[in-house]
Amino acid sequence: MAAMFEAAAADGFDLTQPFAVCWYNDHVAAPQRLADFGRRRALGILIGNSRALWAPFLAAWRADAALRAAGDPLDRYTESRLSPHLDRLGVRAVVRWVHEPPPRLAVQRLAHLSGLAPLAPMGLNVHPLFGPWIALRAVVVLDAEGPPGDPRAVVLPCDACAQACAPAFARARAAPPDEWRAWLATRDACPLGRMHRYDDAQIAYHYTKDRRVLDRQS
């Protein structure tokens, strides 16, 4: 398992959080529940990334014509890089990609319940180190026993914050749907993880999916 985490991190997926599937399934409706191989406490792994994803993704974009031709290059990159690592585990596994069509996972809630990144009042998961500068990519369930006991108590890293994000969040909710800079301002208002902020090109691509951003990085 450690080897899989290391290999995934080398491809930019540097956030991995084990959890017992029941921690999540007990809190969501049937369409959003995870498979569990008949094990209530099956081992789940939530996979995400910090800004560490950007450099390996750009390198793959430059080198792989199939990736450049894909409908969504980042989704293809995610599947093509993570799937081989999972195949080598030697354990039955089911993967749910965060970008799958509905019914989608309640992945933000899962990040909160698993302890990876609590859900903050501004509607974003806030990691204790990276702040809101993370993305969630996949959930893997293995035919193996997950962690014992109950999930750890969720401690919001922003409990002591004066909620500097609240005015920005209110403006973002009132903004037109295509005004992504209003949501960026909400992230920027969070005092946590500022040193881990995405660079401008990564921000622009994640919010707009504009391939010209990738071309300019080539």
SS3 call for 3: helix
pLDDT (0 to 100) of residue 160: 67
Q: Report residues of the chain scoring pLDDT below 50.
A: none
Q: Whole-prediction pTM value?
A: 0.95
For the chain, the structural domain boundaries read: 2-157
Residue 70 has a pLDDT of 97
Give pLDDT, residue 19.
97
**The pLDDT of residue 137:** 98
Q: How far apart are CA 199 and CA 218, in angstroms?
A: 15
Give the pLDDT score at 159: 67
Residue 157's pLDDT is 76
Type of residue numbered 218: S
